[in-house]
Structure 1
Amino acid sequence: MANRSMEVDQFMAELVHPLKAQVEAVRAAILASDASITERIKWKAPSFVHSGDDRVTFRLAPKGIFQVILHRGAKVKDTTGFAFEDDSGLVEWLAPDRGVVSFPDAKT
């Protein structure tokens, strides 16, 4: 994929995490979903950028936690008329424009 970054490739090569295979699978799915999405390391994990803003950031916590944070960038934005669509029911909504999907183990 042309939108893969060497920085994230290196990070992933060095990553020691029990859910590394799931992290790689979600990374590949995000990058394959839209060629304009790019990636970088932010907050010690892969983050995915669309139209200049980070939109999806991984949280790779100790003890094997893997979370996908869905957001609209670092700065608070007006949420009037905005809603993420979640037909899966997997997203825990922390705010109208910030959600998290948790992967607690390899079975999820």
Structure 2
Amino acid sequence: MAENVDRYLAELEHPLRAQVVALRAAILAVDPRITKDVKWNAPSFGRAGEHRVTFRLHPGRRIQVILHRGAAVRADAATFVFDDPTGLIEWRGDRGIIALSTASEADRHTQVVADLAQRWITATT
């Protein structure tokens, strides 16, 4: 699993590659229980075998961080609540999307996004 991500990042051609690497490191640093793998052709994070936070890097020149609760919409999607005091998350159904469009925006929000990812993983696993 870790080898998959390391290989993926070594081969990644993306204008925000440095920010992808920094964001990945920040997410892994907030909680040693967070696991890493590649899902949807991008770095993904979770716990106990459940992917919950996955980057979306293509197409485009941005980083999207997708907060999800699995592949299918859950029955409690209408009542599930996750507090986002940052205002960074855009909700689409039961998924949250954090869009970082520039290197400076990604750099500025790295730790905040890592903290949100950790809270999301804890709340949904």
Higher helix share: 2
Q: For 2:60 and 2:80, locate their aligned partners in 1 and report how far apart those are by CA, in whole Å.
A: 34
The amino acid that maps onto 1:83 is V
> What TM-score do you get using the length of structure 1 for normalisation?
0.87
Is the aligned partner of 1:106 residue 2:106? no
Instruction: Classify the secondary structure of the residue corresponding to 1:102.
Output: strand
| Ranges in structure 1 where 5+ consecutive residues have no aligned partner | none
TM-score by length of 2: 0.76
**1:67/1:103 contact within 8 Å kept:** yes
Report sequence identity in percent.
54
1:79 to 77, 80, 86: 77
**Larger proportion of strand:** 1
Does 1 or 2 have the higher relative contact order (CA < 8 Å, sep 6+)?
A: 2
Count of paired positions: 104
Paired letter, 2:49? G
Name the CA distance, whole Å, in 1 between partners of 2:73 and 2:48.
Answer: 17
Instruction: Give 5+ residue unaligned stretches, structure 2.
Output: 106-125
Match of 1:90 in 2: 88
